[in-house]
Amino acid sequence: MVDRVRATDETINLIQKLEKKHGPLLFHQSGGCCDGSSPMCFPKDEFRVGKSDIYLGDIGGAPFYIAKDQYEYWKHTQLIIDVVKGRGGMFSVEGPEGVRFLLRSRVFTEEEREELQLSAT
C-alpha cells in the first residue's frame, strides 16, 4: 500500500542519531504560525497523542501523527519528511543540531487515492 508519510535517507539517518540521544521518538505535524507546517519530533513519552490525532505511519521507526482535522485538508498529498540546515523548531529535538525537519509533499495519483480510500473504509 502507498505510504501516507515517508522520509528521505537523510531524515532516517538523523532520526537514528537523535534516538541515541533522546530515546524512542515520535513525530507530530504542526500547523499555523512561525514554525507551522513543520514536523515536530519529540521523545515518544513526552507528547500526548489524543483522540483528535490520526496515525499516518512510521518513519525511521518513529510513529508520525497529525491532527485529524488537519489531515482532512492534507490527505490528498503524501508527506515527505526531509532535513534542511536551519535553526529553531521550538521543542523539536533536532533544533540544537543546526538542522530542521522540513515537510515536502507530493500529490497522490488517482490510483493511489483510490487505494487509500479503499483502505480507509
Partner 1 sequence: MHYAKPGTANAIVDFDSHYDNFIGGEWVAPADGEYFDNVSPVDGQVFTKIARSKEADVSRALDAGHEAKAAWAATSVADRSRILNKIADRMEENLETLAVAETWDNGKPVREALAADIPNAIDHFRYFASVIRAQEGGVSQIDEDTVAYHFHEPLGVTGQIIPWNFPLLMMSWKVAPALAAGNCTVLKPAEQTPASINIWLELVHDLLPPGVLNVVQGFGLEAGKPLAQSDKVDKVAFTGETTTGRMIMQYASENIIPVTLELGGKSPNIFFADVMDKDDGFLDKAIEGFVMFALNNGEVCTCPSRALIDESIYDEFMDRALKKVKEIKGGDPLDTNTMIGAQASEEQLEKIISYFDIAEQEGAEVVTGGNRKKYEGEQAEGYYVEPTIFKGNNKMRVFQEEIFGPVVSVTTFKDNDEALEIANDTLYGLGAGVWSRNINTAYRFGRAIQAGRVWTNCFHEYPAHAAFGGYKKSGIGRENHLMMLDHYQQTKNLLVSYSEEPQGLF
What is the contact surface with partner 1 in residues (CB under 8 A)? 28-38, 40, 42, 46-48, 67, 69-70, 73-74, 77, 84-93, 95-96, 100, 102-107
Closer to partner 1 by Cβ: residue 35 or 115? 35
Residue with cell 485529524: 68
Closer to partner 1 by Cβ: residue 68 or 114? 68
In whole angstroms, the minimum distance from the beta carbon of 119 to partner 1 comes to 22
Cβ–Cβ contacts within 10 Å for residue 91, how many? Answer: 11
Closer to partner 1 by Cβ: residue 102 or 116? 102
Rounded Cα gap, residues 86 and 6, in angstroms:
21
Closer to partner 1 by Cβ: residue 87 or 120? 87
- Helix/strand/coil (H/E/C) assignment for every residue in 36-104: CCCEEEEECCCCCCCCCEEEEEEECCEEEEEEHHHHHHHCCEEEEEEEEECCCCCCCCCHHHCEEEEEE
Beta bridge partners of 64: 27, 57
In whole angstroms, the minimum distance from the beta carbon of 84 to partner 1 comes to 5
In whole angstroms, the minimum distance from the beta carbon of 6 to partner 1 comes to 15
In whole angstroms, the minimum distance from the beta carbon of 95 to partner 1 comes to 5
